[in-house]
Amino acid sequence: MFADYSMAELGAIFAMQGFAGLILFSVFVLMALGLAIIFGQMGVINMAHGEFMILGAYVTYLMSNLFADYMPALFSIYFFVAMILAFIASGLLGLFVEWAMIRHLYKRPLDTLLATWGLSLILQQTYRSVFGAREVGVSIPDWMMGSLPLTDLIEVPINGIFVMVLAVGISLAVYIMMFRSRWGKQVRAINQNRVMAGAVGINTEWTDRLTFGIGCGVAGVAGSAFTMIGSTGPTAGQLYIVDTFLVVVFGGAGSLLGTIASAFSISQAQSIMEFFLSGSMAKVLTLLVVVGILMIRPQGLFSLKLRK
């Protein structure tokens, strides 16, 4: 397979392939962080995670139209405004959903799965009714599409870099919030012992709501970023849901570090296999390997305690 190529070419290809793996890693991290917060810290299975992401994507779509129509001069930076608004929109919806639905179901985690599945159907149909059944095209500022030639042979996509920077940024932000802020301390306290946390004066209800809202907000930002690399349509959220859950479970719920480690290993495995095998087989093999490892180590890569 490689006989016809010079070393320089091969080196360039492998460098770019490594980069492709890193982009995939960043995509997985962005997809999974919001879910990891909600699932890991609250034990809630949010099947509507993909729909929260798509909400962010639709907000980006609206912003792109708004800027193109009314503020064309600022179009090149609209994306940042859109991401902030995507966070707010998905976050607010998250707060509402937690208040209306999730808080009644904390004692029945499996039931949150069914209820949020219902929610995802409703959201999908809402998007379809509001934005039409077709996909919408989100125009991306020119500077974000295109590539950066590093050498003659190596080119790196700018949107890939953007996604990576965003993934690092959001991971850092989540880390700081979780381990350096008052809220983070409260969340972790509640996760360890809800009753005691309440007894020492933590407002568990509000902390839960905020956690859910922030998780959804992060999903919204991810969705917003994914308009650069993927499609925006009523059912696009479902494209992400399986991968997202696998990343979180494989990492070990409750551990954000685990989520990142698992995103890294799955993305590298998949990206390397995709290079040597056909795409479909790579996907199946990746899934099988992940499930295989989960059978041997059901608690995931990093986990604080064994679940039953």
Partner 1 sequence: MQSSAFLSRKEMIGFALLAALIFIVFPMMLDSFRLNLFGKYLTYAFVAVGLALCWGAGGILSLGQGVFFGLGGYCMAMFLKLEASTPENTSIQSTPGIPDFMDWNQLTELPVWWQPFYSLPLALFAVVAVPVVFAFIIGVAMFTRRVGGVYFAIITQAFAAILTILIIGQQGYTGGVNGITDLRTLLGWDIRTDEAKTTLYFVNGVLLFAVLFAAQYVRKSKLGRLLIAMRDQEDRVRFSGYNVANFKIFIFCLGAAFAGIGGAMFTLQVGFMSPTLVGIVPSIEMVIFCAVGGRLSILGAVYGALLVNWAKTTFSESFPELWLFGLGGLFIAVVMLFPNGLAGVWSEKIEPRLLALLGKAPADKSAPDGAPAE
Partner 2 sequence: MSDDISDNKTNGVSRRAVLAGGTALTASLFMPKGLRAADFPTAEVNTTGLAVTDDTVTIGILHSITGTMAISETGSVQAEKLAIEQINAQGGILGRKIEYIQEDGASDWPTFAEKARKLLVNDKVASVMGCWTSASRKAVLPVFEQHNGFLYYPTFYEGLEESPNVIYTGQEATQQIIAGLDWVNQTKGAKTFYLLGSDYIWPRTSNKIARKHIENFMDGCKVVGEEYYPLGHTQFNSVINKIRLRKPDVIYAIVVGGSNVAFYKQLKAAGIDMTKEKPILLTISVTEDEIRGIGGENIDGAYACMKYFQSLENENNLAFVSAFKEMWGDDMVIGDVTQAAYLGPWLWKAAVEKAGSFDVDKVREASPGIELTSAPEGYVKVHENHHLWSKTRVGRAQADGQYEVVFETADLVEPDPFPEGYQ
The single residue among 41, 60, 64, 124 that binds partner 1, judged by CB under 8 A, is 124
Does the footprint of partner 1 cover residue 277 (CB under 8 A)?
no
Of partner 2, partner 1, none, which one sits near residue 23, judging by CB under 5 to 8 A according to partner kind? partner 2
Does the footprint of partner 1 cover residue 304 (CB under 8 A)?
no
**Among 82, 116, 93, which residue's Cα sits nearest to residue 222?**
82
Residue 277: other Cβ atoms inside 10 A: 13
How far is Cα 289 from Cα 82, in angstroms, rounded to an integer? 37
Shorter beta-carbon distance to partner 1: residue 73 or 306: 306
Contact by Cβ (8 Å): 244, 29: no
Shorter beta-carbon distance to partner 2: residue 42 or 136: 136
Instruction: Give residue for tokens 């925006």.
Output: 232
Structure tokens at 215: 């998780």
How far is Cα 230 from Cα 105, in angstroms, rounded to an integer? 33
Site string for partner 1, 81-110 (x = CB under 8 A): --------------------x--xx--xxx
Minimal distance in Å, beta carbon 216 to partner 2?
Answer: 21
Minimal distance in Å, beta carbon 283 to partner 1?
Answer: 6
* Residues 263 to 302 in contact with partner 2, rule: CB under 8 A: 270-271, 274-275, 278-280, 282-283
Opening angle at CA 231, ends 230 and 235, nearest 5: 125
Does the footprint of partner 2 cover residue 232 (CB under 8 A)?
yes
Task: For the chain, report the end-to-end CA distance as a whole number of angstroms.
Answer: 47
How far is Cα 212 from Cα 210, in angstroms, rounded to an integer? 5
Amino acid making up residue 237: G
Does the footprint of partner 2 cover residue 208 (CB under 8 A)?
no
* Residues 102 to 141 in contact with partner 2, rule: CB under 8 A: 125, 128-140
Does the footprint of partner 2 cover residue 240 (CB under 8 A)?
yes
Segment 153-162 long-range contacts (CB within 8 Å, at least 24 positions apart) = 153/8, 153/9, 153/11, 153/12, 154/12, 154/15, 154/16, 155/16, 156/16, 156/19, 157/23, 159/228, 159/229, 160/19, 160/20, 160/22, 160/23, 160/26, 162/225, 162/228
Of partner 2, partner 1, none, which one sits near residue 114, judging by CB under 5 to 8 A according to partner kind? partner 1
Of partner 1, partner 2, none, which one sits near residue 24, judging by CB under 5 to 8 A according to partner kind? partner 2
Of partner 2, partner 1, none, which one sits near residue 198, judging by CB under 5 to 8 A according to partner kind? none
Shorter beta-carbon distance to partner 1: residue 2 or 276: 276
Burial class (CB in 10 A: 0-12, 13-18, 19+), 191: middle
Q: How far is CA 140 from the centre of its chain?
A: 20
Amino acid making up residue 97: V
Residues within the interface to partner 1 (CB under 8 A): 39, 43, 45, 47, 101, 104-105, 108-111, 113-115, 117-122, 124-125, 128-129, 241-242, 245-246, 249, 253, 280-281, 283-284, 287-288, 290-291, 294-296, 298, 306-308
Residues within the interface to partner 2 (CB under 8 A): 5, 9, 13, 16-17, 19-20, 23-24, 27, 125, 128-140, 142, 145-147, 149, 155, 157-160, 228-236, 238-240, 270-271, 274-275, 278-280, 282-283
